[in-house]
Amino acid sequence: MGSLVLENIRKSFGQVEVLKGIDLEVSDGEFVIFVGPSGCGKSTLLRVIAGLEDATAGAISIDGDAVGHLPPSKRGIAMVFQTYALYPHLSVRNNMALGMKQAGQPADQIAERVAAASKMLSLEEYLERYPAELSGGQRQRVAIGRAVVRNPQLFLFDEPLSNLDAALRVNTRLEIARLHRELGATMIYVTHDQVEAMTLADKIVVLNNGVVEQIGSPMELYNSPANMFVAGFIGSPQMNFIAAERIGRSDAKTVGIRPEHISVDRESGTWAGNVLHAEHLGADTILYMETEAAGLLTVRLFGEHKFNAGDRLYATPDEARIFGFDDAGRSISG
């Protein structure tokens, strides 16, 4: 259950083409995450899969069956929105049960599934409460529970954690990961948050301007980006890009080095420079350096280091971790 195939999916709004020919295969039980900058088409693509938007062209298959002509209710999917989309006049129990009631499912089966989902998501004590009586994290768990109760072929998540504070995002992320393991269900998830993508996904789809830039596991994208866009989008802080001629390299147009792959020393090193600003985060120290050869660099050091603005330092890249890119921004090394 739950395999998905997209073939040449295109979507236009008037004269604006938002999706420009998307091909994708998702296997049973995979957790796939769409990432990309605002306006890249990731939420539109999710809505096309759900049937909330009609594709302008292309084919959608779920478990080998074409579903592009079917309404959302007939596609075997359940969607979790960032705004929760709960009915304020219904209790938690009735919000979770609504989809099954509308489908005419037997009352005992509805009660059984609501009980199982509420236990899985630690919602038993809230079943008689109303959405206004819940915290944001609890509301999102109810929205997830409503999806679980439906036992769909595909779970679709549209930035489900974006309205939560940092601590709740971490807790809910752990719950979604646990849910995926326990259900073994196929999940497709849209986010702009790299941490969510890197920690949850079996496979990440990087979108940019309506096209797929690269598909791969989190570490494949981190270690072997296909181009400068993916290299710069995956990883935080962002990869440093340097014109190759500035540092005497002729094997590429541009070179890239991640901040965590640069070491610093007060006495000697490859690129001399001055610290413009230092961020002391406890677990990490982030330095912004203006170097004479390589220009502005971001350096990530693990742990606390006593470097501050104005310090004269030498930055040395790990040569084995330098990426090269050609004139078109395509990866040629690394």
> Tens digit of pLDDT for each residue in 105-124?
899 999 999 999 898 888 99
CATH 3.40.50.300 for domain 4-230: yes
Specify the 3-state DSSP secondary structure of 142: helix
Buried b (16+ CB within 10 A) or exposed e, 137-147: bbbbbbbbbbb
The dihedrals phi and psi of 315, each to the nearest 5 degrees, come to: -105, 135
Q: Identify any residues that bridge with 66 across adjacent strands, giving them in sequence order.
A: 61
Domain boundaries, given as residue ranges, for the chain: 4-230, 240-325
pLDDT of residue 281: 95
3-state helix, strand, coil in the chain (%, to 5): 30, 35, 35
Strands 31-35 and 203-208: parallel
CA torsion 223-229-233-237 (nearest 10°) is 80
pLDDT of residue 69: 92
% of the chain surpassing 70 pLDDT: 99
* Residue among 262, 264, 269, 257 nearest 308 (CA): 264
Maximum average pLDDT range among 78-87, 97-106, 182-191: 182-191
The tokens for 69 are 């002509």
CB 157 within 8 A of CB 189: yes
Helix (H) or strand (E) holding 233: helix 228-233
- Residues 57-73 pLDDT 10s: 999 999 999 999 999 88
Global confidence as pTM = 0.91
- Residues 258-297 pLDDT 10s: 999 999 999 999 999 999 999 999 999 999 999 999 999 9
CB 233 within 8 A of CB 37: yes
* CATH number for domain 240-325, candidates 2.40.40.20, 1.20.810.10, 2.60.120.10, 2.40.50.140: 2.40.50.140
Residue 334: is its pLDDT beyond 60?
Answer: no
- Residues 133-186 pLDDT 10s: 998 888 888 998 998 898 888 999 998 888 778 888 888 888 889 889 988 899
pLDDT of residue 10: 97
Q: Give residues with Cβ within 8 angstroms of 206, minimum separation 6.
A: 35, 36, 212, 213, 214, 215, 221, 229, 230, 233, 234
CB 299 within 8 A of CB 290: no
CB 271 within 8 A of CB 292: yes
In terms of Cβ atoms closer than 10 Å to its own Cβ (0-12, 13-18, 19+), residue 105 is middle
